[in-house]
Amino acid sequence: MTTNSQLAMRVMGALQDSTIMSRHLPMLVQGGIPDVGVTVHSHFLTYLVTVGQHLGFAAVAECPVPLTSERADLGDIRADSFWFDPENLQPVASFEFERFERGDEPRLRQKVENLAVASVTTPSLEISSLVYWVLSGSTPHSMESVVAPYRGGFRRRGHQVPGGRAPLMIVKCVMKRAEDGRLVFAEFLRDERNERLALGGL
């Protein structure tokens, strides 16, 4: 069973709406951006906020996850983007964005853990989303160990954290390298196979 909620479909539809990126971040589709430091991360956090606002949410970047007193020892956890309902001001969606290459599994797993924490501590969340980016033509990697914490929980700083409550949507962001070495956006794809892994399926 995959995450097919109405909100998930709205999110995917907006992410794949090329007019939004072309209007607000044309460098991602025209000239490309350098693959240096946090450049890709910064551009796509901005895009996630832009898409959220386009859909009518109050979207912010690098938002601290609200922790209950019994989970305060988990440390400073920030969602790459939180989307809030503009009427009741409650968070309804959380996002993490990260590169995925061989060797990046621990970093990506931590992003999934952050989504689980946000889901557990924020009852109003309707969806959690991991967006990972890869280069076009790269060999797909298994994400079983990466998504496992969202299903079965994990330990952090001596505390047992349960699995996430909100449905987990996983999105692959494909980038292609231009002749000058810059990165150009290619497409967003729903990664339903790894969503099934997160739910314990095959």
What is the pLDDT, as a whole number, of residue 144?
85
What is the pLDDT, as a whole number, of residue 26?
97
Q: Nearest CA to 112 among 98, 93, 91, 125?
A: 98
Q: Are 169 and 129 in contact (CB under 8 A)?
A: yes
- Give the Cα separation of 170 and 144 in Å (integer): 12
Q: Nearest CA to 59 among 47, 42, 72?
A: 47
Query: Which domains does the chain show, CATH number per domain?
Result: 6-198 (3.40.1350)
What is the pLDDT, as a whole number, of residue 33?
97
What is the pLDDT, as a whole number, of residue 174?
96
Give the pLDDT means over successive 10-residue stretches in the chain (202 positions). Answer: 72 96 96 94 97 97 78 76 96 95 86 91 93 83 85 83 90 94 96 78 51
pTM greater than the 0.95 cutoff: no
Query: What crossing angle do the helices spanning 6-15 and 39-54 adopt, rounded to 10°?
Result: 120
**Does residue 111 sit in helix, strand or coil?**
helix
